Structure 1
Amino acid sequence: MEIPTAALIDCGLPEEEANQLVDLLGQIPVQSDVELWRFLAEEVLTPEIPFSIHQYLYQQVFEQRISHGEPAPAWIPGERERDGSHLAAWAADLKLDGFDAVYDWSISNREEFTTKLIDSLRIQFQKRPQKIMDLNAGVEQVDWLRDATLNIVESCLRDKSEETAILFQRTTDEVQRLSYRELRDLTAQVANGLTEAGIEPGERVAVMLPMTPESVAIFLGIIAAGCVVVTIADSFSAEEMQVRLKITTPQMIFIQDVITRNGRQLPLYAKLESLPELPAVVLSESESESLEVSLRESDQLWSEFLSTNSELTCVPRLPHDEATILFSSGTTGNPKGIPWDQTTPIKSAGDGYLHHDIHCGDVVCWPTNLGWMMGPWLVYASLINDASIALSDAVPTSRRFCEFVQNAGVNMLGLVPSIVSVWRSQDATAGLDWSQIKVFSSTGECSNSEDMLWLMSRAGYRPVIEYCGGTETGGGYITGTVMKPGVPGLFSCPALGFEWLLLNESGEATTNGEVFFVPPVIGLSTRLINRDHHEVYFADLSAGPQGQTLRRHGDQIEALPGGYFRAHGRVDDAMNLGGIKVSSVQIEELLTQTSGVREVAAIAVSPPGGGPGQLVIFVVMQDGVTFVSEELLQRMQQIIRSQLNPLFKIHAVREIELLPRTASNKVMRRKLRDLYQSEES
């Protein structure tokens, strides 16, 4: 491979090191681009080498693919993935060759697939099902695990005694450990405390807490008692919290006194001021029992609530009984209350097992909250797979959090792409050893390919499992696998057992269109708390090309060569510019490459007198970079002109300190439209 020394020097490598690297590259025998990159990633490119060198060599190796718009893999499965992954074991057991064959089997044999998944996860039953998948009521209302009784907590807390269930860090940098036995005991104290408080099985109990060992035990304890967890993100305002409590009418709430974010102490307990009728159990943010607030007469301390009885008896439940209620993002109107029943965790844990390849003893970290689906997902995907959960009170974008990832020995690190963007801009991982990471995963928003290449390089090139689904799916419908090469920012496969179609506005199959699910799939919601489930997901849909019953989802996905996929956000994030339909996410993906810009959001705004939509860009600038509206508009316009469509004209660029986001990290474009129109009026 011939690379000019000057090019490496221009990328930031000292001359002596550049000469050494050129000599090394010159000795590599001619081989395929994939094998050449594998050698560079495994033997040459360390995290200490400037990322600009990684990026330059990646572009040189895959120049032909990139110029033709073909996916260029930055990670290639090795022997460990081919022979040691859960999915490889499945393929061998089924006598099938490769991922695609296993996927085809999984959607052609859905009941057998679900049965094998339940067996692989060792789901515990108090009474085994007579039938795994009963379709007598149709695919909208599947009777999963008919005639069974179970409590999913028993599958989370199988007897693993002194093995680590949770690693956690708070206040100090010390990484502490909670064993499975200790977590089981604390879960029992919560469950028995609820019973002693008169809370009956089937009743709802709210949780508004950060992710801590206590909140995990509370989550499990409520379900163990046969009750239903109503999860509310701790970032919600008092008004948003009240909306969710009104929808679900819980009997009590677990809440913290305060929460500290970026050095600022923010109130949590105070949000209950207008709800005197709702009893609360209040935890202290500090490890001491001392609170930052005074309690109402109806409320009690965490230590007062806990039962002295640490014997765990899980109340038997039916498969379709509610276990958790989560909420959709709620960017329009009231949020949808979406129940997870006793079967939904099988989907979460199954994705962790088959796609994220979580093994017994692995350490799984995903900065999240119980109010977003990835919170319950993290609990189930870790504990049902006999792994450890890693929790830190550090801000996820901080150097301290990156150090925690190293010190806790994290093997599977999940995140949202905007976190990676900040890490990269601040070089937050410099000097850290992330070699223990086996898999990254990314969800919540569309990924930037350069950021994901950077992330892979921080751990000696490990794959990023892109992961996309929704609260109503219990997991992902499109994702990645360790059995196929990984391309930065792209999905490599549909989720096993999950069939879906890409259709255009005429209902015809296409390579870039709206996603429609083809049920049945375990984990899919079958009801909503405050909406008509059929109206939301099934009403007014024609049958699929082969007569299938289709379920509405609303994402836009593009199929690429080689079996890869790119997400283009929500179909309802589309805009019409000059009579041409384009996704706001598509514009944002392009404009994030603008130098000096950290984040971008694109909206279309109608002028006061009506007429065609005008393209407005909101930007979050990188630290220390001055916002100059006209200069930035011209640079962004050039990118759109050259890389998307010269007919798309930017009307205005506005600076904003932070993009408004939902609890699940989706950009709230409606708020940006309202903000812009209020400023212009």
Structure 2
Amino acid sequence: MAKRLGEVALEDLYKAGGSTISIEEATHIYQAIAASKASDPDPRRVWKEVVSRRVLKPWHPHHLHQLVYYSVYAIWDVSINGPPLYWFPSLDESKITNLGRIMEIHGPKLLGTSYKDPIESFSLFLKFSVHHPETYWSIVLEELSVVFQKSPSCILDNSNKLKPSGAWLPGAVLNIAECCLLPSTHPTKEDNSCALVWREEGRDDLDVNRMTLKELREQVTVVANAVDATFSKGDAIAIDMPMTVSAVVIYLGIILAGCVAVSIADSFAAKEIETRLRVSNAKAIFTQC
């Protein structure tokens, strides 16, 4: 069980910081957290204050971040309040998220005058989504450009009492890679929209790379055509590669071809790789020298 915020001593912070922080910096963190708690004991507001004041830095060890976060929320009742909040977007930031955009477009119609904005009306909109799954998920599927090769008979089928959670999208057939790659009326999913952003591993001195949706689709199609010409739909194809842009292209290509992608960590030893290939009955493997 995590220590409560008042139980975390300066020594705890200094120890969690390892060799990356000095005792002076640990003292600054300790004092900043204490000041945040003194101004408002609500864990959500304490953590929000810690984040907004940038008390913790990106280069601080993960263990230090965890120590502060879990001590702030030590008395948080998940069963009542849900998961403890980590990120607090501004109103403008919330409006450009997928959910925020959906809420801004459909919230006034679905919630009437009760709708205010994506932050203030989040709980109300969540409640609506639970009680009206057909309406909510129909909107979400359309907004996310999910295209079915065979449409579902409904959104949620609760007719089978042996399945208390129901059956979602019964009868539906789709290829999720196809949904990812096709342009749509979505305002940020045109052919020239940015689809991937990455930097070569270990080369922080280089510029960030970008790939458009059209470029990604072209590269994925090459892989998919090669897989489709060699294997049958449903065959398992393994990938044993680091998380590079090539691995992303290959993964989507396997799915687009109708095969099953078997992900294998590139850190695995030969014996572990052999086991996963055997268990999955993989017909081939993508790797790199």
Task: Tell me the TM-score normalized by structure 1.
Answer: 0.28
Query: Is 2:110 the partner of 1:94?
Result: yes
Query: Which amino acid is 2:282 matched to?
Result: P
Match of 1:190?
223
Match of 1:169?
199
Deviation of the 1:78 alpha carbon: 3.6
Contact 2:191–2:214, Cα closer than 8 Å, also in 1: yes
Q: Distance in 2 between matches of 1:55 and 1:103?
A: 36
Q: Distance in 2 between matches of 1:144 and 1:80?
A: 33
Deviation of the 1:192 alpha carbon: 0.8
Query: Which amino acid is 1:116 matched to?
Result: I
Q: 1:233 aligns with which of 265, 269, 273?
A: 265
Deviation of the 1:83 alpha carbon: 5.1
Q: Distance in 2 between matches of 1:164 and 1:181?
A: 9
Sort the Cα spacing of 1:135 and 1:236 in 2 relative to 1 into closer, same or farther, 3 A.
farther
Deviation of the 1:223 alpha carbon: 0.7
Deviation of the 1:81 alpha carbon: 4.4
Asked which structure has the greater CA Rg, the reply is 1
Q: Distance in 1 between matches of 2:220 and 2:43?
A: 52
Q: Distance in 2 between matches of 1:166 and 1:145?
A: 29
Q: 2:250 aligns with which of 207, 214, 218?
A: 218
- Offset from partner CA, 1:499-555 (integer Å, 9 cap, x none): xxxxxxxxxxxxxxxxxxxxxxxxxxxxxxxxxxxxxxxxxxxxxxxxxxxxxxxxx
Query: Which amino acid is 2:244 matched to?
Result: T
Match of 2:129?
106
1:139 match: secondary structure: coil
Match of 2:276?
244
Deviation of the 1:183 alpha carbon: 1.2
Match of 1:399?
none
- Offset from partner CA, 1:614-673 (integer Å, 9 cap, x none): xxxxxxxxxxxxxxxxxxxxxxxxxxxxxxxxxxxxxxxxxxxxxxxxxxxxxxxxxxxx
Sort the Cα spacing of 1:253 and 1:142 in 2 relative to 1 into closer, same or farther, 3 A.
farther
Q: 2:174 aligns with which of 145, 150, 156?
A: 150
Contact 2:133–2:155, Cα closer than 8 Å, also in 1: no
1:210 match: secondary structure: coil
Match of 1:63?
38
Query: Is 2:172 the partner of 1:139?
Result: no
Match of 2:287?
255
Deviation of the 1:162 alpha carbon: 2.9
Query: Which amino acid is 2:34 matched to?
Result: Q
Sort the Cα spacing of 1:103 and 1:163 in 2 relative to 1 into closer, same or farther, 3 A.
closer
Q: 1:80 aligns with which of 52, 77, 92?
A: 92
Sort the Cα spacing of 1:216 and 1:71 in 2 relative to 1 into closer, same or farther, 3 A.
same
Q: Distance in 1 between matches of 2:245 and 2:43?
A: 46
Higher helix share: 2
Q: Distance in 2 between matches of 1:51 and 1:93?
A: 50
Deviation of the 1:210 alpha carbon: 1.0
- Offset from partner CA, 1:6-41 (integer Å, 9 cap, x none): xxxxxxxxxxxxxxxxxxxxxxxxxxxxxxxxxxxx
- Offset from partner CA, 1:173-231 (integer Å, 9 cap, x none): 2323322222111111111111222x101111111111112111111111111111011
Q: Distance in 2 between matches of 1:228 and 1:82?
A: 35
Identity %: 29
Which is bigger in relative contact order (C-alpha 8 A, separation at least 6)? 1
Q: Distance in 1 between matches of 2:153 and 2:195?
A: 32
Q: Distance in 1 between matches of 2:207 and 2:93?
A: 33
Query: Which amino acid is 1:251 matched to?
Result: K
2:225 match: secondary structure: helix
- Offset from partner CA, 1:269-328 (integer Å, 9 cap, x none): xxxxxxxxxxxxxxxxxxxxxxxxxxxxxxxxxxxxxxxxxxxxxxxxxxxxxxxxxxxx
Match of 1:415?
none
Q: Distance in 2 between matches of 1:84 and 1:249?
A: 43
Deviation of the 1:69 alpha carbon: 7.0
Deviation of the 1:124 alpha carbon: 1.5
Match of 1:45?
none
Unaligned stretches of 5+ in structure 1?
A: 1-49, 258-681
1:195 match: secondary structure: helix
Deviation of the 1:52 alpha carbon: 5.8
Q: Distance in 2 between matches of 1:182 and 1:51?
A: 47
Q: How does 1:216-615 map to 2 (within 5 A)?
A: 216-257=248-289
Q: How many residues align?
A: 206
Deviation of the 1:140 alpha carbon: 6.2
Sort the Cα spacing of 1:238 and 1:52 in 2 relative to 1 into closer, same or farther, 3 A.
same
1:122 match: secondary structure: coil
Match of 1:180?
213
1:146 match: secondary structure: coil
Q: Distance in 2 between matches of 1:70 and 1:143?
A: 35
Query: Is 2:161 the partner of 1:129?
Result: no
Contact 2:194–2:212, Cα closer than 8 Å, also in 1: yes
2:155 match: secondary structure: strand
Q: Distance in 1 between matches of 2:34 and 2:281?
A: 55
Query: Which amino acid is 2:128 matched to?
Result: W
Alpha-carbon RMSD across the aligned residues, in angstroms, is 2.9
Match of 2:236?
204
Deviation of the 1:128 alpha carbon: 2.7
Q: Distance in 1 between matches of 2:128 and 2:219?
A: 41
Contact 2:241–2:288, Cα closer than 8 Å, also in 1: yes
